[in-house]
């Protein structure tokens, strides 16, 4: 069971780049890394997913080193609306969904 460790909270200011790192030392060969964003009283929203190296979409970038024991979610030029909880998940998305656990996530607070 791949367990993840993230900072409980982070603070930033509008316009800054934010990097949230997640540790997953016992990641398995078939595991993917997925990040979600969640606002209060809403369901989690998919941000980005990767297996290795770097993945970029219109919202964020995901950096995964060669050993895959950690990953970093990068949010460029954050705004106040990026204040949310960010979850890192690691799991084999094609089997064993009960092992896909969310943890407590990282509470990102963006200030003016």
Partner 1 sequence: DTGVSQDPRHKITKRGQNVTFRCDPISEHNRLYWYRQTLGQGPEFLTYFQNEAQLEKSRLLSDRFSAERPKGSFSTLEIQRTEQGDSAMYLCASSPGTSGDTQYFGPGTRLTVL
Binding site for partner 1 (CB under 8 A): 32, 34, 36, 41-46, 49, 51, 87, 93-94, 96-98, 100-105
Length of the chain: 112
Q: Which is nearer to partner 1, 41 or 112 (CB)?
A: 41
User: Nearest approach, Cβ of 86 to partner 1 (angstroms)?
Assistant: 11
Please state the closest distance from residue 66 (CB atom) to partner 1, in A.
Answer: 19
Q: Which is nearer to partner 1, 29 or 42 (CB)?
A: 42
Cβ neighbour number for residue 104 with a 10 Å cutoff = 10
User: Residue 29 or 94: which CB sits closer to partner 1?
Assistant: 94
In the complex, minimum distance from the CB of residue 101 to partner 1, in angstroms, rounded to a whole number: 7
Q: Could you tell me the two tokens for 88? A: 């890192």
Nearer to partner 1 by Cβ, of 16 and 57: the residue is 57
Phi then psi for residue 82, to 5 deg, are -85, -5
- Separation CA 80–CA 72 (nearest Å): 21
- Look up residue 76 and give its DSSP letter: S
Residue 1's nearest CA partner among 21, 23, 39, 31 is 31
Minimum gap (Å) between residue 53 Cβ and partner 1 = 14
């Amino acid at each position: 069971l791949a367990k993840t460790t993230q900072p409980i909270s982070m603070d930033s200011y509008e316009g800054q780049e934010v990097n949230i790192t997640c540790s997953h030392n016992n990641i398995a060969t078939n595991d993917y890394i997925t990040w979600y964003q969640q606002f209060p009283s809403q369901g989690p929203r998919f941000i980005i997913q990767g297996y290795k190296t770097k993945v970029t979409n219109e919202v964020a970038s995901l950096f995964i080193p060669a050993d895959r024991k950690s990953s970093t979610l990068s949010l460029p030029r954050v705004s106040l609306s990026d204040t949310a909880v960010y979850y890192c998940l690691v799991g084999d998305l094609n089997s064993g969904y009960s092992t896909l656990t969310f943890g407590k996530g990282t509470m990102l607070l963006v200030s003016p």
